Amino acid sequence: MPAVPGSMYGGQQGPSCFDRMKMGAMIGFCVGMASGAIFGGFTALRYGMRGRELVNSAGKAMLQAGGTFGTFMAIGTGIRC
């Protein structure tokens, strides 16, 4: 009978569910920031924004997209635990 890893022999354990949720939130935030930069930047350029106005508009879109996608990734990861 093969030994079960981590049961009685002190093997390494994987990350906890909360650690997985944190990692999912961080990955989702990064992906959301990237998509927010692309879509927010192009939208601001299309409206003719330049300089500080462009940076503020694109930054706001990046934070909104990052927060939204990070939240949903954390929830999805929590459901899978």
Q: Which residues contact 29 (CB under 8 A, 6 or more apart)?
A: 66, 67, 69, 70, 73
CA distance 5 to 31: 34
* pTM of the full structure: 0.78
Residue type, 60: K
pLDDT digits (tens, 9 = 90+) for 16-73: 999 999 999 999 999 999 999 999 999 999 999 999 999 999 999 999 999 999 999 9
- Pick the residue with more confidence: 10 or 41? 41
pLDDT band at 13 (very low <50, low <70, confident <90, very high): confident
